[in-house]
Structure 1
Amino acid sequence: MLPTSRDAEHPATEPVAATGTLIGYARVSTKAQLLDRQMHALTEAGCVRIFADKKSGKNAEREELWKALDYLRPGDILVVPSMDRLGRSIQDLIALVSGLRQREVGFTSLHESLDTTTPGGRLVFHVFAALAEFIRELIVQGTHEGLDAARARGVRLGRPAAMTPEQIRHARDLLTRPENTVVSIAKLLGVSRNTVYKYVPELKDGRPALAAATAPALPHPAEPCP
């Protein structure tokens, strides 16, 4: 079971008793890339079994990683060539390693010489977790400040309008001609039929209502001279 966000923000502090097996995990981003170097490093580190994915780190469906996590038992150590092979982001990495520690499974990254079964490794990992939370709070704060400043300048936030005022006027003009259907007008303007109905609400009451709404007002007849 994956840890919650609260668990990821506060990794377990108790040491893991590394008494089991070294299990390796390797990953390359594309099928054209080779796993040889990573597999060799993991074998040299003493891994007795290695799982490997050929998928981008942005892809959440890493089948071999989930198999590796399911294979691990308390006391085992998950070994990776480098931290970026395991996590899609620093938050993802922290969540995965925190989940391992809750299961009493250790974690080692060969390139960074990070080993969570040692006091120094646990300290470094806590620093990573604290930095990730600090950066996340800065991003949230900056986003809110940017939105507030935009609102103060009168910037319209949210999704842009599907039809411009010019398109709406053009649609109204076309709709006054009986030979033009709503579907054909929508295709001409590059929008959906529902969008035309949304921006020309008079259509819901029929073409006559639209014609009456768009017809220019007639001038009052001149008063006869006395």
Structure 2
Amino acid sequence: MLIGYARISRGDHQDLAAQLRTLSEAGCEKVYDEEASGADAARPQLKELLARLEPGDVLIVWKLDRLSRSLSDLLLTLAKVEAAGAGFRSITEAIDTTTAAGRLMMHMIGAFAEFERAMIRERTMQGLETARRAGRHLGRKPKLKPSQKAEIVRMIEDGRGTPAHAAGLFNVSKATVKRVVAAHRLSGAPHE
């Protein structure tokens, strides 16, 4: 069965008519349509369509960007189509995974996406290592200064307050206070 999927972005003042007409001309027996962002994971019509795909079905879209805005999401969606034993066809880009050439094209796109992710990961790791060597603090800025941590330890160790009381004074969670005190106790340093 040829099954179409048409999507317009929410609030974009687009019209589904052209997509629906093209999908009908392509021979789609059933068409799922919705108004949702391509980046939005909650696309109920697409989810239902993918759940109902059967071996031999072909999912048809007018353009690839109607199915997804990101390459990684597109590849995940196409993996679900393939797992159902169905094919995929994009009319505008002339991609058809029911043919050997179409399957090759999708594998090439997937390989380029994997290569891009690996390159980004490699550059990120190099940047982090360079920052560590330069002595820069990585991650979120600490909530408490060393002097504040010392005051919390003194307060708790001297019995002048509870973790909940200290948390309220320093505007942090009780768990943060407990971590500060535990770290101090593990270090074995005497409190001032």
Tell me, in whole angstroms, the C-alpha distance in 2 between the residues paired with 1:203 and 1:195.
12
Structure 2, unpaired ranges of 5+: none
Tell me, in whole angstroms, the C-alpha distance in 1 between the residues paired with 2:8 and 2:80.
23
| Alignment partner, residue 94 of structure 2 | 113
Q: For residue 123 of structure 1, report the CA deviation from its aligned partner.
A: 3.2
Figure out how many residues of one structure are paired with residues of the other and give that number: 186
Tell me, in whole angstroms, the C-alpha distance in 2 between the residues paired with 1:190 and 1:104.
55
- Cα 1:197/1:119, change in 2 over 3 Å: closer
The answer as to whether partners of 1:100 and 1:106 remain within 8 angstroms in 2 is yes
| Alignment partner, residue 93 of structure 1 | 74
Aligned to 1:53, what secondary structure does the other structure show? strand
- Cα 1:26/1:78, change in 2 over 3 Å: same
- Cα 1:167/1:40, change in 2 over 3 Å: farther
- Structure 1, residues 67-92: CA drift from partner, whole Å, max 9, x if none? 21233333221011221222353123
| Alignment partner, residue 52 of structure 2 | 71
* Residue 30 of structure 2 corresponds to residue 49 of structure 1: yes
| Alignment partner, residue 143 of structure 1 | 124
The answer as to whether partners of 2:50 and 2:80 remain within 8 angstroms in 1 is no
Output the amino acid matched with 2:172. V
Structure 1, unpaired ranges of 5+: 1-20, 205-211, 215-226
| TM-score between both structures, scaled by the size of structure 1 | 0.66
- Structure 1, residues 83-115: CA drift from partner, whole Å, max 9, x if none? 122235312322332443454422111232222
- Structure 1, residues 52-77: CA drift from partner, whole Å, max 9, x if none? 23333333343222321233333221
* Residue 155 of structure 2 corresponds to residue 155 of structure 1: no
Output the amino acid matched with 1:157. L
| TM-score between both structures, scaled by the size of structure 2 | 0.75
Q: For residue 169 of structure 1, report the CA deviation from its aligned partner.
A: 4.5
Q: For residue 24 of structure 1, report the CA deviation from its aligned partner.
A: 0.6
Tell me, in whole angstroms, the C-alpha distance in 1 between the residues paired with 2:54 and 2:159.
74
| Alignment partner, residue 2 of structure 2 | 22
Alignment of 1:167-186 (within 5 A): 167-171=148-152, 178=160, 182-186=163-167
Tell me, in whole angstroms, the C-alpha distance in 2 between the residues paired with 1:50 and 1:35.
15
Moved more, 195-204 or 126-135: 195-204
The answer as to whether partners of 2:153 and 2:180 remain within 8 angstroms in 1 is no
The answer as to whether partners of 2:143 and 2:172 remain within 8 angstroms in 1 is yes
- Give structure 1 regions of 4+ aligned residues with deviation exceeding 6 angstroms: 173-177
Of structures 1 and 2, the one scoring higher in RCO (CA 8 A, sep 6+) is 1
